[in-house]
Amino acid sequence: MSKTFHNYPVEQSMKLAVDAVVFGYTKETGLSVLLIKRKIAPFAHQWAIPGGFVHNNESLEDGVVRELQEETGLTVNYLEQLYTFGNPDRDPRYRVVSVAYYALVKPDSFVTSAGSDAEDVSWFAVNQLPSLAFDHVDIINSAIQRLRGKITYEPIGFELLDAKFPFSDLEHLYVNLLGREIDRRNFKRKIKQLDLLIELDETAPMSSAGRPGKLYSFNKEKYFSLKNRGFLFDMSF
């Protein structure tokens, strides 16, 4: 009876969306996410993470990239699938299953412009989030957890920093993400022995006071060649 019903189910009626948790980082604000203010119902005039329905002939990644471009004008430099949220009632209209991604952007890409589907676009520190549409709090929290975990075994933190950065920026990033103090000397020793940094002949431009630090850049080529050889990174502290 119910067996027959299962084998010949009614036509599926649900929609597939992609959403993106876009992370940015500055020393001043700490880890932040990019939110848009929705123009249309449901949850009109509420903050939400950027996203939208997948088109019929685009891949999921292409859909995320397109939606980000449309809603925020942003181009990201790191994008990874996070989790698929599919509770039947997560959208009040009808069933929407959402494939969530998370993305990392460098501080110099922070300039955004509200697109046609968004009333406003803005960055929010992750510990000062406004109330959010749908289950987007859950999505953001999953993304934060994932990011926290991932930076301990993959050097993706660099994707949140400028191309040239002082060592202290990296340290502050880790302190902020891990939520506890790190000994500067131990941190520097461990990062240096990964041998993924290029020491530049420049010093950081001054921001207030203190001794300027040497600038470094991330050796992406070396990282990928090590990674492809199956090298394991340990960036836990």
Instruction: List residues binding its own copies (CB under 8 A).
Output: 3, 6-7, 9-10, 12-16, 53-60, 66, 70, 81, 83-84, 86-88, 95, 97, 99, 116-117
The reply to whether 10 sits near DNA by the rule CB under 7 A is no
Q: What are phi and psi of 58, to 5 degrees?
A: -110, 150
Q: Which amino acid type is present at position 204?
A: A
Question: What's the min distance (Å) between Cβ of 2 and DNA?
Answer: 46
Pairwise CA distance, residues 40 & 60, whole Å: 23
Taking every pair of C-alpha atoms in the chain, what is the biggest distance, in angstroms? 77
Q: Which is nearer to DNA, 95 or 190 (CB)?
A: 190
3-class secondary-structure state, position 193: helix
Paired residues of 36 in beta bridges? 48, 121
Q: Verify binding: residue 24, DNA, rule CB under 7 A.
A: no
Question: Which residues ranging from 121 to 140 are in contact with DNA (CB under 7 A)?
Answer: none
Q: C-beta of 6: minimal distance to DNA in Å?
A: 44
Distance between CA atoms of 23 and 3, rounded to whole angstroms?
Answer: 46
Decide which of its own copies, DNA, none touches 186; Cβ closer than 5 to 8 Å per partner kind.
Answer: DNA
Nearer to its own copies, 16 or 156 (CB): 16
In the complex, the smallest distance separating the C-beta of residue 227 from its own copies, rounded to whole angstroms, is: 13
159 DSSP β-pair partners: none
